[in-house]
Chain A
Amino acid sequence: MHAVRWRKVFRDLVSHRFRTVLVVLSIATGVFAVGVVMGGREILVREFDSEYSASVPLNADYFTMPFSDPIVRRAREYPGVEAAMGRHSTSLRYRWAGSDAPRSISVVGIKDYDDITVQMLVPEDVRSWPPRRGEVVLERAALQVGKYEIGDTLEVETSEGKTESLTIIGFAHDINAVPAQFIGSETGYVSFETLPDLGEVKAYNELLVAMSGSDLTQREASLLAEDIQRDVLEANSITVLGSYVPKPGSHFLGDIFKAVSLLLLALGLLSLLLSGFLVVNTVSALMAQQIKQVGIMKAIGGRASQITWMYLGMVAIYGVLAVLVGLPASAWAGTQFIRFAAGILNFRVASYVPPDWVTALEVGVGLVVPLLAAAVPVRLGTRTSVVKAFNDTGVSSASFGHGLVDRMLGLFRGLPRPVALSLRNTFLRKGRLTLTLTTLSLASAVVMSVFSVQASIGQTIDDLDAWWRYDAQIRYERPTNRLGVERVVSSTPGVTGVESWIGANATLDRADGTTAQGFTVYGLPYGTRFVAPELLAGRWLEADDTDAVVVNTDARKAEPSLDIGQRVTLEIGGEKRIVHVVGLIKGQLSGSLIYMDRELLGGMLSEDGVTATLIQTASSDPLQQRKALDAAEARLEEANYRVVSTRTQDELREQIADQLGILVAFLVIMAVLLAAVGVIGLTGTMTINVIESTREIGVMRAIGAQHGSIYQIFITEGLAVGFMAWAIGAAAAYPMSLGLTELLSGAIGMPLSYRFSWVGVGAWFGIIALISVAASVAPAYRASQVSVRDAIAYE
């Protein structure tokens, strides 16, 4: 536009470059935060869901005695079955050059790689496809735990105790495979030809069934799964060793996913709020600064509406610039964020493009929010009578000397002049102080809450340590003679105590004829000293119990009928038993567990023997414990006992910490983003304060103020705001972190202990001090460069 008033708008933007950059950055930060978080969340959920639903997830999984193609065909023809396939899976130990200790691998033998109809497998980086005899393709999550490379060999211990080499020929992706980092066991795909080399039969031992219907309920799935087991497997004399019916349509990481997405949503809303504050703050400061010019323009005939449009136009230009900066920046950061998330959650991303509404929201935050934020100050500014505008000094000097604040400041009479002056400045600009303080306090509260959530996760893991009174565990391939293995293990150097448990899968028969699956029953000596259960209700197992069981909170949550005093029917090892729930203990992050006396459980099972041995060692050093465990495993193998996996409790703790670590990682991203918004907000405020005080600074310089004093003034002001935000944030962090921990605990279905992080409060004190200084240095530098002449000439 030609009009001179628009020329003024552009000229102001250009000649106040520093301010323009600052305002644009402030708004762009809001656009960025919203784009990354909301966009990230949408893309995450969209890409995960699309890959997951295209993967044909299974609805029922049966582990059986060997069977062949006709059974699979029958399963495929069964009404209600969408797809079915057989495969051979087994868990083996292997050694690999990249790791000292032997590791576990879940080997999956697939007969025809062109006929995978359930749980799609996508080759990603393979030398050839499909794997031939002697070759293995690893599920790509293995790369999260070790630097596996194509061409590496895995020395696999076969079922017969021999060693067989498998060459890695590539990596494939199965979104339904439990990622290696979560279970401490890799997944490898081999051809059927390889199975005999590994001591396995060339036949299926696992049947995967996907059912039709998109809105299948858990109950429908369970009922159909039972029918298939009876009609397809058992009717053809195929013994079912175990079965698993997951909640239809929900991925095993679904809960973690839900938690992450909830966190992101919370963060998104928070950043929306914060960027709103930031924008309001910046624009009001801008208007405050322009008030005199508004007065002049009105005095020479400018109407309020004309002046309003000028400033709204100015804000719109800021907004457009901010969107131009914020959109690409958030697209870039969003891509990095999704890559990170896709890596740890193990899914593939087809497109990094956010949905249109997110882009619209970003534009809204960049354009609409500033305009709305500007509306009030611009209106107030243009409505101010000319005489008020002329008398405006940016501070209401009339009220100084009366307020509570001033009386409070009066208490600090001993302060050096510049310090007292800067504190006075801070409090004088009350409106701006409130907004800056709100932004920074919110950011502080979130950061300190994140510290507390992390501490709570640490506490939860510490609580696990309190429950575990053993150091390591060995699991056997099949029920094994207790006295035999205990003799071998307890004579291993470094082992100081052993106890063996029986583990079995259990199904609960409800009164209404339906069943609940997915329980594990542990038989352990009632007087065990290997765990220290934290009783929440009822009592622990006792010597003369005949049908008593204790359940954990996870089991109770999964099946409310498992309440104290209830008698329920459990189906264990094919036999139905009525048991009596006598106690409730806190869950240990390992699923729905039911405990009963070992002798009692042993009596219920047809096959005699224990399935796991727990070990106490002489050392508290994880490496020594691992050594003792490896030695025990070697001795057991020597004595012909088949070990399926070993792990030290320390390794398990790491795995759990890794899983919860995902949440912490997201929380940290959240905290950093918010802190950034806070820093930019504070820098903006400080800069505007400097610009506003230009004349004052010039006068101080004229009467002899040194650089140091000027720095002192602005840095003190920055610190004052920072510390106030810290104090308010710390107070808010307690309820906020408590709520966040509850939220997470609900979302992931694990009870989390709560611990308030005083370390976090202390650390943030240090960080916010640094941030405050950093945010004030640039403005203070500008202030120190103000020459007396400029200051006096200023507008």
Chain B
Amino acid sequence: MPQIITPDTAESALLRLTEVVKVYDGGDAPFTALKGINLDIHTGEFVGIIGKSGSGKTTLINMITGIDHPTAGEIIIDGTPVHSLGENDLARWRGRTIGVVFQFFQLLPTLTVLENIVLPMDFCRMWAPRERTERAMDLLEQVELADQANKLPAALSGGQQQRAAIARALANDPPILAADEPTGNLDSKTADAVFGLFERLVEQHKTIIMVTHDNDMANRVRRALHVSDGEIVEERVLRPRHGA
């Protein structure tokens, strides 16, 4: 049974959000999507963000990945003040620190699956050029796509594309993986496989933050944050499966 406990407030938090506010000012009137979020996440945690449509889940994860900027508040990740970085530094930092998985996969259509995975290493100059392909193949093997390496993304099924996208997110071996509804477009069996992959990664001490609609998934993550109207209204922490 899930057991509600208070969040760990140790100083060693990998990721810390303090009073993060996001106001969208498009449209007729400004809209406050995040109303002062405080959140700590530690290394090796598998965090699920759940909530109704429009509650602010995507907005929140975009704050963490630096894809969007907060209107107010601080975001410190592994000692880096993400909220104060410029676009350019953000890109470099993100490339090495956070792997991003999108709801709609977002593989580049003109590159093969393998090339899509090499691309982040190329951008961040990680590993020697010759090693990159090797590493990309390893990653593809991990996601069981080695046989699809030289196909274009359009020739893959949705689940395969999502797994390729996860491999890409892991390309630079980032400590954090952020995924916005990674299983939203997949059938339950494929979704299960992706989830299993995430669990294996957590075992390898990756920190994973995942937005999901799926209650089933939400119940399987170690820590679940319930977002409603731009606020974290509830937190549950599951007893770890492999001891504590």
Check A299–B69 contact: CB distance below 8 A: no
Give B residues with C-beta under 8 Å from A: 26-27, 62, 65-69, 87-88, 91-92, 94-96, 99-100, 102, 106, 108-111, 115, 118-120, 122-124, 129, 132, 154, 168-169, 171-172
Check A300–B110 contact: CB distance below 8 A: no
Report chain B residues within 8 Å CB of A15. 109-110
Q: How far is the CB of A54 from chain B (nearest CB, A)?
A: 59
Check A297–B154 contact: CB distance below 8 A: no
Check B119–A4 contact: CB distance below 8 A: yes
B-binding segment of A5-13, A215-223, A442-450, A517-525: A5-13
A-B Cβ contacts below 8 A, count: 88
B-binding segment of A125-133, A275-283, A382-390, A767-775: A382-390
CB contact between B111 and one of A11, A298, A385, A390 (< 8 Å): that residue: A11
CA distance A383 to B69 in the complex (A): 14
Closest 6 CB pairs of A and B: A301-B95, A11-B110, A387-B68, A386-B67, A302-B123, A300-B120
| A-B contacts besides A4-B115, A296-B108, 5 pairs, CB < 8 Å | A7-B111, A15-B109, A297-B123, A300-B94, A385-B87
Report chain B residues within 8 Å CB of A793. 154
Output the nearest chain A residue to B124 by Cβ-Cβ distance. A301
The number of chain A residues touching the other chain, given as a range, is 20 to 34
Q: If the complex has contacts A4-B115, A4-B119, A4-B122, are A298 and B91 also in contact, measured as CB distance less than 8 A?
A: yes
Output the nearest chain B residue to A13 by Cβ-Cβ distance. B110
The answer to the question of A144 belonging to the interface, with a C-beta cut-off of 8 Å to chain B, is no
Check B115–A301 contact: CB distance below 8 A: no
Report chain B residues within 8 Å CB of A7. 111, 115
Please report which residues of chain A, range 288-304, place their CB below 8 angstroms from some CB of chain B when the two chains form the complex.
Answer: 292-293, 296-304
Q: What are 25 A-B contacts with C-beta separation under 8 Å?
A: A7-B115, A8-B110, A8-B119, A15-B109, A293-B108, A297-B123, A298-B91, A299-B65, A299-B67, A299-B94, A300-B123, A301-B92, A301-B94, A301-B120, A301-B124, A301-B172, A302-B95, A304-B91, A306-B123, A385-B68, A385-B69, A385-B87, A386-B66, A387-B62, A793-B154
Give A residues with C-beta under 8 Å from B: 2-5, 7-8, 11-12, 15, 292-293, 296-306, 383, 385-387, 390, 398, 793, 795
CA distance A385 to B66 in the complex (A): 9
Report chain A residues within 8 Å CB of B132. 4
Check B106–A296 contact: CB distance below 8 A: yes
Q: How far is the CB of A23 from chain B (nearest CB, A)?
A: 16
Report chain B residues within 8 Å CB of A3. 122, 129
Output the nearest chain A residue to B107 by Cβ-Cβ distance. A296
Q: How far is the CB of B162 from chain A (nearest CB, A)?
A: 14
CA distance A12 to B152 in the complex (A): 13
Q: If the complex has contacts A398-B27, A795-B109, are A4 and B118 also in contact, measured as CB distance less than 8 A?
A: yes
Output the nearest chain B residue to A3 by Cβ-Cβ distance. B122
Check A299–B100 contact: CB distance below 8 A: yes
Q: If the complex has contacts A4-B111, A8-B110, A302-B95, are A297 and B119 also in contact, measured as CB distance less than 8 A?
A: yes
CA distance A2 to B124 in the complex (A): 15
CB contact between B91 and one of A292, A303, A387, A390 (< 8 Å): that residue: A303
Output the nearest chain B residue to A306 by Cβ-Cβ distance. B123
Output the nearest chain B residue to A296 by Cβ-Cβ distance. B106
Q: If the complex has contacts A296-B108, A387-B67, are A303 and B88 also in contact, measured as CB distance less than 8 A?
A: yes
Report chain A residues within 8 Å CB of B68. 385-387
Output the nearest chain B residue to A299 by Cβ-Cβ distance. B100
